[in-house]
Amino acid sequence: MSDRRRPLRVGVQLPEVEREVRWSESLAMANAAEAIGLDSLWVGDHFLYRSPGRPARGPWEAWSMLAALAAATERIQLGPPVAATSFRAPALLAKMAATVDEISGGRLILGLGAGWNETEYRAFGFPFDQRVARFEEAFTIIRTLLREGRIDFEGRFYSARDCELLPRGPRPDGPPLMIG
């Protein structure tokens, strides 16, 4: 039995709803996180928050931010702590993940989940019902495309007929997946 302990991995999530954070500040935080040796940088995949007694607020679109941060950093791993699979067609989300993984040189960690904030679902026109069943189908499409590069799928909520993910990202099995 080995005494070796796993190194502590530390990351940071960019602020998304506490206040408006402009690109220049997000970039400065990412560069500082990388410079001090943090392992990961996370960008929340949300659109809108509303709370009683507070003004409405919302972050920048996560995948655009991730692509920009991937191009502007060199070492730190990047990802959405949880990308709501119902915010985008699953095959498109797989394509976006492969693209960010390419831009980052294989540093994407793809967090996926069913979503929870009914306010943003309603405001942006996404169905809020049966989120877990929708997630199951979306996850099947995303995982298969990233791992195998192709899928032929017809479900209750989503379809990806004779779909191929080309070009493939930098890792043969795609980025690591994290479920939240």
Q: What is the pLDDT of residues 120-170, one digit of tens each?
A: 999 999 999 999 999 999 999 999 999 999 999 999 999 999 999 999 999
Give residues with Cβ within 8 angstroms of 127, minimum separation 6.
Answer: 86, 121, 134
In residues, how long is the chain? 180
Amino acid at 58: G
Q: What is the pLDDT of residues 44-61, one digit of tens each?
A: 999 998 888 888 888 899
Angstrom distance (rounded) from CA 172 to CA 175: 9
DSSP, residue by residue, 146-172? HHHSEEEEE-SS-EEEEEE--S--SST
Show the beta-strand stretches assigned E in 43-176.
Answer: 77-79, 83-84, 110-113, 150-154, 159-164
Q: How does strand 150-154 pair with strand 11-13?
A: unpaired
Q: What is the pLDDT of residues 86-110, one digit of tens each?
A: 999 999 999 999 999 999 999 999 9
